[in-house]
Amino acid sequence: MVIEAQPHRAVFFLGRTAVGVIRTVGSMVLLGGRALSGLRRPTWPAGELFSQAYLAGNRSLLLVAITLAFVGMVLVFHACIQSQRVLGEMSLVGPAFLQLIIREFGPTIVALMIAARVGAGISAELASMVVTEQVDALRMNGADPARYLVAPRLVSVWIMTVALCVFGCAVAAVSGAVTANLLFGLSYDTFISFSMTRTGDLVTGLAKASAYGFYIPLAASWAGLSASSGSEGVGRATTAGVVVGSLGVIVLSAVIGAAVFGLGL
């Protein structure tokens, strides 16, 4: 009896998980649609867009710079060692690294940093407003929380995510070039070469950065507005915002990569 019950439990668990994912995605799509509809006639306070952009961008600048600098150093260090062992020379390390950081690693790693820092902040802020009934007060005054609270965060984080992805790729390229030059004697002219980077790589990197910039604040806002049960709900909402945001970044990376490959870019 116990052995026969196991498959049923597995099916029940998978079904419940699938329903939960569908509900979550549907709720986020509806929230995003309501937020985007508010862009036609903005109702948020003057200066809110710049305030959110400062919180999302300027305060994440150092985190992104340090993270991408070390990512560039580590990747180039190991790439140079393996290139020496296998090929006996390192002239292709720079071009291959730049292509990889622009197309894949740069946007994705920056997005994960933003999901952890900015996403957590948005989730905690909105969850606190929910549990203190500030969101209910907005609804009583005829204001849609999606248009009033989510829309400015959506726009500002989207803009700053794209900008930070470009900045992060530049930092990784510089740190990688310095590492290759100081530790392996590879000249900067040889390393900084875009011979392997194509237009499709730039399109893929910008597409990923744009998708991440839209998704992260949307996931964080959904988690925050779904909070309940007082201070404990704020903690759960913050955790959910980071988890859903980070998982979504990984999924989007795979989906966009597969789509671009299918298009032949």
Give the pLDDT score at 68.
Answer: 95
Helix, strand and coil content of the chain, in percent to the nearest 5, comes to 85, 0, 15
Burial class (CB in 10 A: 0-12, 13-18, 19+), 80: buried
Tell me the per-residue pLDDT of 105-117, one tens digit each, with 9 for 90 and over.
999 999 999 999 9
CB 107 within 8 A of CB 212: yes
Residue ranges of the chain with per-residue pLDDT less than 70: 1-7, 12-13, 265
pTM, full prediction? 0.88
CB 72 within 8 A of CB 174: yes
Give the pLDDT score at 161.
Answer: 94
Give the pLDDT score at 1.
Answer: 43
Q: Any idea where the domains of the chain sit in the sequence? A: 2-263
Give the pLDDT score at 148.
Answer: 87
In Å, how far are 79, 106, 145, 260 from 206, measured between CA atoms?
A: 25, 10, 29, 12
Q: Cα 218 from chain centroid?
A: 11
Give the pLDDT score at 12.
Answer: 67
Scanning the structure block, which residue is given the tokens 């499709």?
A: 200
What is the spatial distance between Cα 201 and Cα 185, in angstroms, rounded to a whole number? 28
Burial class (CB in 10 A: 0-12, 13-18, 19+), 142: exposed
Scanning the structure block, which residue is given the tokens 């400062």?
A: 54
Give the pLDDT score at 102.
Answer: 93
In Å, how far are 49, 92, 157, 226 from 38, measured between CA atoms?
A: 13, 49, 16, 20
Give the pLDDT score at 265.
Answer: 67
How many of the other CB atoms lie within 10 Å of CB of 116? 17
What is the spatial distance between Cα 236 and Cα 256, in angstroms, rounded to a whole number? 29
